[in-house]
Structure 1
Amino acid sequence: MFKRLPGDEARNLVTTTPDTAVVFRPAVVQTPAILTLIIFTWRVLTGCVRLVWRHPVATLITITPGALTLACGWRTALLLLTPVPTGLLAWAITDRQSFTRLVALRLLAWWRLTWIYRRHWQPVMIVSGLGRHLWGRDYLPRLGKVTCTAWADLVTVRMLKGQSLKDWADRLDHLAQGFGAASCRVTLTKGGHLMLTFPRTDPLAVPLAALPLPETPTVGPVEVGKQEDGRPWLLKVHGTHVLVAGATGAGKGSVIWSTIRGLLPAVRAGLVEIWALDPKLMELSFGRALFGDRYAATPEDCADLLEQAVTVMQKRAARFAGLQRSHTPTVEDPFVLVVVDEVAFLTAYQADRQLKQRISAALATLTTQGRAVGIGVMAALQDPRKEVMNIRNLFPDKIALRLDESEQVDMVLGDGARQRGALADHISPVPELGAGVGFVRLEASPDPIRVRAAYVCDTDIRDMAATFAAGKDAA
């Protein structure tokens, strides 16, 4: 019926049948059955070895009863296995922490791997666009190990060739909803591999009371709250500058006062000086006795105090030149922390143009040159836009508390922070749930960390001021 046409004659073919497409039937290669069986057996064996290697406890608990039943009979197996749950129960009662770490969390990881992630992996990957279905075959990212902590599932994934971290960061909502989690965060572990974090509970849902005063003087890092993984949140203030951004009622005062509280023993020892700028006359005025004559409220006084800090910085730089490149706090040269509450009032909303220029120039000088000589700046603001705070990039460490808009997250923490899971615009506006909760992005790491600052109430501040004033008088 058809004959082979030489050369380019095939392009001149004309059909008289409408809507008829030329169909090319691909050649079918028959795979030998023995090769198919070998590949299938190899995959089963490697899957079993991988399962035993990753989940030894769960595998042992599952296989042991069946093996004993086949080897000894069900009566003997029951007799031998009866002490096991009794011993596990006694272990859980006497040392719950080690039982949870060595047994319970491993069993939970095995269960969630098989029932949650592996069971839903293919549809979630295809629907979210992270997998591809081509020529009847699914190309999926490789699901790796699942590790359970007390609050989250950590899932390791090997990406498809050609994928990037941004491909996954753009689909965090799809992943969270697909696996039944409230949120999802992604972290690049090494080339081609990443880790997905799916929280099961919120360890930061309960407000934290003011932390006890440190027993020994410390310049930092200062403990100001708790991280999402349960570890203390240690905020570095010496050798860096910190920007705290958040909407009204987000808990900026908790971060500021927890930092001041942690530095008080060093202040008493003469290793730290805290200079306070309080243009709102609301936040820092409660502890005015802590600052002495290093307190300013009016714009004029704030400008004078900042320029005085610049003078101290320049004198130190002249003395340190050629002798040392980093600062060590001493009584002669203490670490100076300049705390500025609502910095936008001084840099953007100030009507006096001359004062605005003086303040902006002093802040820019301190944030560019102050770290090496022991002068740090902690500034708080509500609106992180560039026209409000044009030197926000001069702060190496940034804290984003509850924000009003999603675009503000990247303004504070840097490009891509929200895509990595820093959902500061989703923090609850209810004070009991969201005050003091935020995300930290440090200079040394691009990955945001979810934290909550301890709440220092008015009574705590007055007690701090009274105790510190009494300590100075006694000294």
Structure 2
Amino acid sequence: MFKRLPGDEARNLVSTTPDTAVVFRPAVVTTPAILTIVILTGRMLARLIRTIWRHPIATVIPAVLGALWYFYGWPLAASLSGTVVLALTSWAFLDRPSFARLIGYRLLAWWRLVWIYRRHWQPVMIVSGLGRHLRGRDYLPRLVKVTCTSWADVVTVRMLKGQAVKDWSDRTDHLAQGFGAKSCRVALSHAGRLRLTFPRSDPLASPLPALPIPQEPTVGPVEIGKREDGRPWRLKVHGTHVLVAGATGAGKGSIIWSVIRSLLPAVRAGLVELWALDPKLMELSYGRALFGSRYAATPEECADLLDEAVCVMQKRAARFAGLQRSHTPTVEDPFVLVVVDEVAFLTAYQSDRQLRQRISAALATLTTQGRAVGVGVLAALQDPRKEVMNIRNLFPDKIALRLDESEQVDMVLGDGARDRGALADHISPIPEIGAGVGYVRLETSPEPVRVRATYVSDHDIRAMADTYAPHGEAA
């Protein structure tokens, strides 16, 4: 019934009984032992050369110690090792930042490369679907490099041919859990290469006190907080428009008052004018004296103030036509920043239809034409849906604080922002932890950056009003 045939004979088989099972054994080629030894030796030499090329210091140190031990004995090698360890320990205590930058983070990166990423790379890639197991062979993305900063691991990966960035951004949860991190962010560094960021700690977990008021007047970018990488967060307000979205208690007031605080010296110098629209009568009313006559609370007053801003913008445009294409703040033509605390109350929740259309038209005019002539808009809202704020795409720079739903992240920061790590819906609702924390996406960079604004307390606001209020406006 069964006939065992060599592999090449199966093609010559003619069966007259269709139900008969044919079993054949493929031809086996025996590899000479010397060829196997040559291949394995070549692979070992290639890996040794690659290791020396990638880690010259880590390979030279044991080689030198081994040579000293061999030629001069172990006491000299041990004393030299102790001297090096003592020198490095002293360096770490005397100048910790430089030691961490030059030595500490490199050693940490090597350890995490070996113990965390390379050790778990194959199972994480296969289980998450980023690798493929075909015909008994694993096809895995290549782990290129691991670098460490004070708060995160940055892993450089070469994708498989045919993979896309979305294949990785859809699996950030798998990657984070697989490598023991709280989250993972994906960014394209070069063609075919990705940069995966795995945070080890949260440098923005604690509230930031209000920054000192600048000594010199400036129109920006103004420092209003700290970025996740430890650098100051400077927000551009002159020459752009900024939209801040966040749920109740997310810290929108922190951004608004931090911007105002940084601009106060320029206001006193006559280079900046602050126009405030406060329809909720809560946030901006604390520093009402800072705005003088440029403060509006009722919808009618807000509409009149916006129309006045449009008038200023149009007059400047007529004077600048054919003479200049950008605005430089001067006492004659100061930078006008229109601050709107809850813009949705004016554009979507206003019961008077004519008043609502008038306000929406004025805001649309300012956001489309104002930046070139020195009129900017800083608007805050809670609900970023299109039917609530239909001109949100007219704001080049956007900030997403804590949001209630994951879909709202892309509404604010643009399509794909959440897949690239802008988890604004995961920000803690506890004020001490999450207030003022958010993700910013600038016009010049599509990648979201995690930031935290400083907290300007009521006492700070009253002190600002007492010091910088126009003459006769102090409370």
Looking at structure 1, the residues matched to 465 and 27 of structure 2 have their Cα atoms a distance apart, in angstroms, of: 86
Task: Please give the alpha-carbon distance, in whole angstroms, between the structure 1 residues aligned to 2:110 and 2:397.
Answer: 38
Instruction: Map Cα deviations across residues 185-215 of structure 1 (whole Å, 9 max, x no partner).
Output: 0110110011110111100001100011111
The correspondence of residues 177-326 of structure 1 with structure 2, limited to 5 A, is: 177-326=177-326
User: What is residue 125 of structure 2 aligned with on the other side?
Assistant: 125
Question: Secondary structure of the residue that 1:82 maps to in structure 2?
Answer: helix
Q: Secondary structure at the match of 1:44?
A: helix
Answer yes or no: is 1:15 the counterpart of 2:24.
Answer: no
Deviation of 1:268 after TM superposition, in Å, equals: 0.8
Structure 2 matches for 1:67-466, cutoff 5 A? Answer: 67-466=67-466
How far did residue 35 of structure 1 move?
4.9
C-alpha offsets along residues 32-80 of structure 1, whole Å, 9 cap, x if unaligned? 5555444444443343344344444444455544443233222221122
Mapped to 1, the partners of 2:270 and 2:53 lie a distance apart of 55
Deviation string for 1:355-408 (max 9, x for gaps)? Answer: 110011111111111111111111101111111101111111110000011111
How far apart, CA to CA, are the structure 2 residues paired with 1:247 and 1:14? 75
Comparing 85-94 with 342-351, greater Cα deviation is found at: 85-94
What CA distance in whole angstroms lies between the structure 2 residues aligned with 1:5 and 1:167? 42
Name the amino acid aligned to 2:182: A
SS in 2 for 1:219: coil
Distance 1:30 1:346, change over 3 A: farther
Q: Which deviates more, 130-139 or 463-472?
A: 463-472
Identity %: 76
Q: 1:238 to 1:133 in 2, by over 3 A?
A: same
Distance 2:39 2:373 in 1: 66
Q: What is the identity, as a one-letter code, of the residue corresponding to 1:320?
A: F
| Distance in 2 between residues matched to 1:405 and 1:328, nearest whole Å | 40
User: What is the rounded CA distance, in whole Å, between the counterparts of 1:235 and 1:32 in structure 2?
Assistant: 68
Cα 1:392–1:23 shift into 2, 3 Å = farther
Give, in whole Å, the separation in 2 of the partners of 1:443 and 1:14.
74
Q: Which AA in structure 2 matches 1:276?
A: A
Q: 1:308-365: CA deviations, max 9, x gaps?
A: 1111111111111111111111111111111111111111111000111001111111
Question: Is the CA contact 2:290–2:473 (under 8 Å) kept in the aligned structure 1?
Answer: no
Shift of 1:92: 1.2
SS of residue in 2 equivalent to 1:186? strand
**Structure 1 residues 237 and 29, CA, compared in 2 at 3 Å: closer, same or farther?**
farther
> How far did residue 27 of structure 1 move?
5.8
Could you report, residue by residue, the CA deviation over 1:429-471 in whole angstroms, capped at 9, with x for unpaired residues? 1111100000011111111000000000000000011110277
Q: SS of the residue aligned with 1:115?
A: helix
Task: Write the distance in 2 (CA, Å) between the matches of 1:106 and 1:43.
Answer: 27
Distance in 2, Cα, partners of 1:352 & 1:80: 83
CA contact (8 A) 1:247 1:401 kept: yes
Residues 241 and 367 in structure 1, CA contact (< 8 A), matched pair in contact too: yes
Q: Secondary structure at the match of 2:307?
A: helix
Q: Which amino acid aligns with 2:139?
A: Y
Count of residue correspondences: 468
Q: What secondary structure does 1:303 align onto?
A: helix
Structure 1 unaligned runs (5+)?
none
| CA gap 1:267/1:5 in 2 versus in 1, 3 angstroms | closer
Deviation at 1:95, TM superposition (A): 1.2
Farther-moved stretch of structure 1 (118-127 vs 43-52):
43-52
Bigger shift: 44-53 or 99-108?
44-53
1:16 shift after superposition: 2.0
Indicate how the Cα distance of structure 1 residues 38 and 159 shifts in structure 2: closer, same or farther if over 3 A, else same: farther
What is the identity, as a one-letter code, of the residue corresponding to 2:217? P
Give unpaired runs (5+ residues) of structure 2: none
| Distance change (3 Å), C-alpha of 1:333 and 1:383 | same
User: 1:281 deviation in Å?
Assistant: 0.3
Q: 1:220 to 1:4 in 2, by over 3 A?
A: closer
* Cα distance in 2 between the residues matched to 1:446 and 1:132: 31
Amino acid at match of 2:184: C
CA contact (8 A) 1:401 1:438 kept: yes
Quickly say closer, same or farther: Cα 1:379–1:30, change in 2 above 3 A: farther
Return the offset for 1:168: 0.5
Structure 1 length normalisation: TM-score?
A: 0.93
C-alpha separation between the residues in 2 aligned to 1:40 and 1:399? Answer: 55
Cα deviation code 1:119-147 (max 9, x no counterpart): 11111101110000111111111101111
1:64 and 1:436, CA in 2 relative to 1: closer, same or farther beyond 3 A? Answer: farther
- 1:296–1:39 CA distance, 2 compared to 1 (3 A): farther
Closer, same or farther in 2 for the Cα pair 1:245/1:65, shift >3 Å? same
1:134 maps to a residue whose letter is L
Judged with a 3 Å threshold, the aligned counterparts in structure 2 of structure 1 residues 162 and 390 are, in CA distance, closer, same or farther, namely: same
Q: CA deviation at 1:29?
A: 5.4
Where 1:368 maps in the other structure, the secondary structure is: helix
SS of structure 1 residue aligned to 2:469: helix
